[in-house]
Amino acid sequence: MTAHKIEELEAIRRKSQAKQSDLMNYISDGEKQAHAANNELKVNQTRRSNVLARIAAENMVAERVEQGEKDVKLQALISQQNSRLATEISLRNAEEERMEREIQRMCETSEELKELEKKLNIAYVNKERAAQHQEAA
């Protein structure tokens, strides 16, 4: 083998190694880019998940606030109705008592009712006497 031939083989070997090195660099760059793309996707998915979670949390808070407002309004309505019912019952009781007092007053001041009451008492006494008389007989 001659020096020229050795130099040619050495040049071929260097070209082959350079080509192999370029291919390895290309593969390495591709893997790095794929890894970076995957990381970017994960970051985007995480961001999206965080945004969706935040929106869901905001919706839950809004629903709780709305439900709280509804509960307050309902309690106010119930309280108002209870107050109205209490007032109405109070008025009816007062009217009933007034009517009873009026009836009592009329009964106490009516001469006809006093006479009827006397007659009724006499009738009861007569009835008892008749019952006693019949027992004796």
Angle 40-41-42 (CA atoms, 0-180°, nearest 5)?
Answer: 90
Please tell me whether the overall predicted TM-score, pTM, comes out greater than 0.75 for this model: no
pLDDT tens, position by position, 63-103:
999 999 999 999 999 999 999 999 999 999 999 999 999 98
User: Which pLDDT belongs to residue 104?
Assistant: 86
Domain count, the chain: 1
What is the percent of the chain with per-residue pLDDT over 70, rounded to a whole number?
A: 100
| Residue-averaged pLDDT of the chain | 92
State which residues form the domain around 89. 3-136
Residue 4 predicted with pLDDT over 90: no
User: Which pLDDT belongs to residue 111?
Assistant: 82
Q: Which of 15-19, 78-82, 85-89, 110-114 has the lowest mean pLDDT?
A: 110-114
> Which residues, other chains included, contact 73 with Cβ-Cβ below 8 Å and sequence gap of 6+?
none
DSSP alpha helices (H): ranges in 1-137? 3-109, 111-136
